[in-house]
C-alpha cells in the first residue's frame, strides 16, 4: 500500500511540475525571436537566437531573419560555440517581430491563428483542368497561383487543407464538438469551419513553455 502511495505521489509531482513549466497560449505570450529548427523548439520557445546566426547581413535590420531564410542554407553557432550549417528547407519556422512563420513547401507563411489547430494562408501553384484533350494539343494552358488556407495540427505536426472534410477529421478527438459539427447541413458546415476551429482551440489550448 505504501508503495502505491509513493508511486501516486511521484506521478502527481511530475504532473504539477509539467503544468508549472508550461502555459496555455494567449495573444500576450512572449515568443522569443529566432529560428525554430523543429516544432519541439517552437513549443519550448527555444529558437536559435539572431545573435547565434552567422551572416554578413546586419542583424539590426527588422527583416533580418526573412533575408537569412531566403538563402539555401543558414549557418549558426550551437551552445558549444561550434558552427553548424543546415538546409533552409529543413527549418520548421521562425519568430520575427512577434510573428510566427512556418515552413510550408519551402516558403515561410505567417500563422494567422495560433493554437493546437493553427491557421495560415499560402500561395499555391495550380494547373488548369484539362477537359478537352484534343484542344489541349493546340493550346498551352498556363498555370496560376492561388491563395489558399491551411490548418496546421500541432499535435501531429501535419498540414491539412482547411475544408469541411479535414475539419471533420480534426474534430474527432472531441466527441461533443464533432457531434455538433456533424449535425450541421453541408452549407452550414462550410460556413462554420473557422468557428469550430476556434471552439476546438478554446477547449484544447496549446501549451507552450512558461519561461
What phi, psi does 93 have (nearest 5°)?
Answer: 175, -170
Residue 13 has a pLDDT of 42
Closest CA to 154 of 208, 201, 116: 116
Residues 6+ apart with CB under 8 A from 107: 122, 123
State whether residue 150 is helix, strand or coil.
strand
Residue with cell 478527438: 173
Count of beta carbons in the 10 Å neighbourhood of residue 117: 24
Q: Are the beta carbons of 61 and 67 closer than 8 angstroms?
A: yes
State whether residue 20 is helix, strand or coil.
helix
CA 137 to mean position of chain CA atoms: 42
Q: How far apart are CA 154 and CA 202, in angstroms?
A: 15
Residue 18 has a pLDDT of 43
Stretches where the chain sits below pLDDT 50 are 4-19
Residue 144 has a pLDDT of 77
- Provide DSSP, 155-210: TTTEEEESSHHHHHHHTTT-HHHHHHHHHS-HHHHHHHHHHHHHHHHHHSPPEEE-
Q: How far apart are CA 39 and CA 91, in angstroms?
A: 9
Closest CA to 189 of 170, 209, 205: 170
Residue 9, Ramachandran bin (φ over 0: left; ψ between -120 and 50: alpha; else beta): alpha
pLDDT tens across 144-182, in order?
788 999 999 999 999 999 999 999 999 999 999 999 999
Residue 19, Ramachandran bin (φ over 0: left; ψ between -120 and 50: alpha; else beta): alpha
Q: How far apart are CA 76 and CA 113, in angstroms?
A: 29
Q: How far apart are CA 46 and CA 34, in angstroms?
A: 8
Amino acid at each position: 500500500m505504501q508503495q502505491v502511495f509513493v508511486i501516486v505521489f511521484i506521478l502527481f509531482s511530475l504532473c504539477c511540475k509539467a503544468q508549472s513549466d508550461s502555459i496555455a497560449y494567449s495573444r500576450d505570450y512572449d515568443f522569443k525571436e529566432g529560428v525554430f529548427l523543429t516544432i519541439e523548439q517552437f513549443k519550448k520557445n527555444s529558437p536559435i537566437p539572431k545573435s547565434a546566426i552567422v551572416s554578413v547581413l546586419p542583424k539590426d535590420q527588422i527583416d533580418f531573419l526573412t533575408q537569412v531564410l531566403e538563402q539555401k542554407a543558414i549557418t549558426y553557432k550551437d551552445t558549444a560555440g561550434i558552427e553548424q550549417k543546415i538546409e533552409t528547407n529543413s527549418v520548421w519556422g521562425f519568430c520575427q517581430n512577434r510573428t510566427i512563420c512556418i515552413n510550408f513547401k519551402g516558403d515561410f507563411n505567417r500563422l494567422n491563428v495560433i493554437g493546437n489547430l493553427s491557421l495560415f494562408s499560402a500561395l499555391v501553384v495550380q494547373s488548369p483542368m484539362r477537359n478537352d484533350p484534343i484542344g489541349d494539343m493546340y493550346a498551352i494552358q498556363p498555370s496560376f497561383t492561388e491563395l489558399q488556407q491551411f490548418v496546421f495540427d500541432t499535435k501531429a505536426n501535419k498540414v491539412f487543407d482547411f475544408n469541411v472534410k479535414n475539419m471533420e477529421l480534426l474534430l474527432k478527438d472531441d466527441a461533443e464538438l464533432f457531434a455538433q459539427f456533424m449535425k450541421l447541413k453541408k452549407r452550414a458546415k462550410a460556413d462554420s469551419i473557422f468557428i469550430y476551429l476556434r471552439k476546438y482551440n478554446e477547449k484544447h489550448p496549446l501549451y507552450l513553455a512558461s519561461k
